[in-house]
Amino acid sequence: MDALPTGHFIGGALQASRSRDALDAMNPATGAVIGKVADASAEDVGEAVSAAARAAPAWAETPARRRGQILLAIAARMRQRGEELARLDSLDSGRTIAETRAQVERSAQQCEYCAGAADKLEGRVVPLGGASFAHTALEPYGVVAALTPWNAPLLQIAQKASHALAAGNAVVVKPSPLACFTALRFAEIAVDVGLAPGVLNVVTGGGTAGSALVADERVAKVTFTGSTATGRSIAATCGARGASVSLELGGKCPLLVFDDADLTAAATLAGRAAFGSAGQSCVAAARILVERRCLSALLPLLAREAERWRGGDPFAPGTAMGPLISRAAWLRVRDLVHDAVARGASLAAGTLPGDEPRGAGFFMDALALREVAPDARIMREEAFGPVTVIEVFDSEDEAVAMANAGPYGLAAGICTDNAARARRLTRKLTAGNVWVNTYKALDPAMPFGGNNASGINRECGIDGLLSFVRPKAIVEAY
């Protein structure tokens, strides 16, 4: 593998950080330090925003079709360099190579979707009547700041940057320091294929760099994906200074299993939904709500399924899931599980974590708990690990009430063979995304995002793209 990129990508090239501070980049599968991540100072961040502000007017004037062509070229180059990008993401984030290969493809598709939509962001003529001519124009914001988490590093920058660029904005991305190398590579690729210097910049670092970026008055829109707590503080800053904000936040997503479902298929789906990516997914099925009539039939199937989900080498073929991102994450998930057990929860499937990770990496095997006390922390807090909680319901109404309980509203799944029931429930569930007999069915063409504590606004699809432009209403009278 080539040397890891270091520094910030500003004005079209990697440059050394003005800040001397650096953070360790760690391979979560081995615990080994693999490199350094520059921790941007406010000065570094300011320089990146200046580069974006300089480049923004010309990019906004670039014909939309040309903007789309550049996104197509980025997609093609990502596919060409797909194996390298996938390996870098697996090394940095611990996701299995099968997952990161799929994410390279999805990142390319995301750029292609936005490329195709770029010249379809049209204003409208509004028939006000009389002698006036009323119409709308969709204008870019200017400089967009994108703050991303570590759990899907390449896809996160590809998603946010492709929306912002297609709509004619310049961008400054601040990826998570826990996995940021493919974000730097993405920016290099964009400039290699013809994006003008300064249109896309990447500064690396932690929360201090992130808050400097969000506070910069020249940033007109912030798009953030990460935890609910951080999202709320970012929204407060944006609100105070009048910047637009989109938030893709946490969740505690339910998967509802009804007696009329194909239970073998439901158990397989539940395993993928709860334990895929070691549960480090905002839409992970952290709660499995089971109709009492099928509980005894489903539990052994779930137990068998959980055995398949063991943490292992992300690069080994056939590994179901990689490690947790850090020792701190491992200890936090362990504490949530141990707290639930101390309050009376029992193990329904899988393996309880011990007191320490079983090797140098941060591996945890999958598990499902049941009879969890309502006051257990895991009932309220996002675990972000390979653990799910089984709850039981007796009626459809009770299932809906349980699914909608709590502050989140990101995604929900339903396993049923009853189409009328599925239709009823898709309307009643408080969630931005609902999947019936499938899960994590994400696509660049489908809007994605959450309600309530899970977020504001959407990304992907036309709805997502529209949140990267603002309409101007024009009335002309002669």
Catalytic residue among 114, 282, 294, 460: 282
Query: Minimal CA–CA distance to 254: which of 53, 38, 414, 70?
Result: 414
Residue in 145, 164, 214, 321 binding ligand NAD, rule: CB under 6 A? 214
Q: CB-wise, 248 or 313, nearer to ligand NAD?
A: 248
If binding means CB under 6 A, how many residues of this protein chain bind ligand NAD? 29
Q: Is 160 an active-site residue?
A: yes
Catalytic residue among 180, 440, 459, 460: 459
Take residue 406 and report the two structure tokens written for it. 């709590």
Catalytic residue among 47, 112, 188, 248: 248
Residue in 19, 151, 201, 223 binding ligand NAD, rule: CB under 6 A? 151
Residue in 5, 153, 210, 386 binding ligand NAD, rule: CB under 6 A? 210
Residue in 170, 234, 256, 333 binding ligand NAD, rule: CB under 6 A? 234
Q: Which stretch binds ligand NAD (CB under 6 A): 50-58, 168-176, 385-393, 419-427?
A: 168-176
CA-CA-CA-CA dihedral for 391, 392, 396, 397, to nearest 10: -70
Q: Give the CA radius of gyration of the chain.
A: 23
Take residue 189 and report the two structure tokens written for it. 């690729």
Q: Is 197 in the site for ligand NAD (CB under 6 A)?
A: no
| DSSP line for 360-423 | SS-----EEEES--TTSGGGTS---SSEEEEEEESSHHHHHHHHH-SS--SEEEEE-S-HHHHH
Cβ pair 277, 95 in contact under 8 A? yes
198's CB contacts (< 8 A; 6+ apart) are 10, 11, 12, 51, 52, 54, 55, 170
Q: Which stretch binds ligand NAD (CB under 6 A): 59-67, 81-89, 170-178, 350-358?
A: 170-178
Q: Which stretch binds ligand NAD (CB under 6 A): 1-9, 24-32, 148-156, 368-376?
A: 148-156
Q: Is 476 an active-site residue?
A: no
Q: Is 111 an active-site residue?
A: no
Q: Give, as ranges, the residues between 282 and 311 that touch ligand NAD (CB under 6 A).
A: 282
Residue in 69, 136, 227, 404 binding ligand NAD, rule: CB under 6 A? 227
Please give the Cα distance from 29 to 91 (Å, whole number): 8
Take residue 226 and report the two structure tokens written for it. 């990460």
- Give alpha helix (H) positions in 255-322: 263-275, 292-307
CA-CA-CA-CA dihedral for 333, 330, 450, 138, to nearest 10: 160
Which stretches of the chain bind ligand NAD, using CB under 6 A? 147-151, 174-176, 206-207, 210-211, 214, 225-227, 230, 233-234, 248-251, 282, 382, 384, 410, 450, 455
Q: Which residues are catalytic?
A: 160, 248, 282, 459
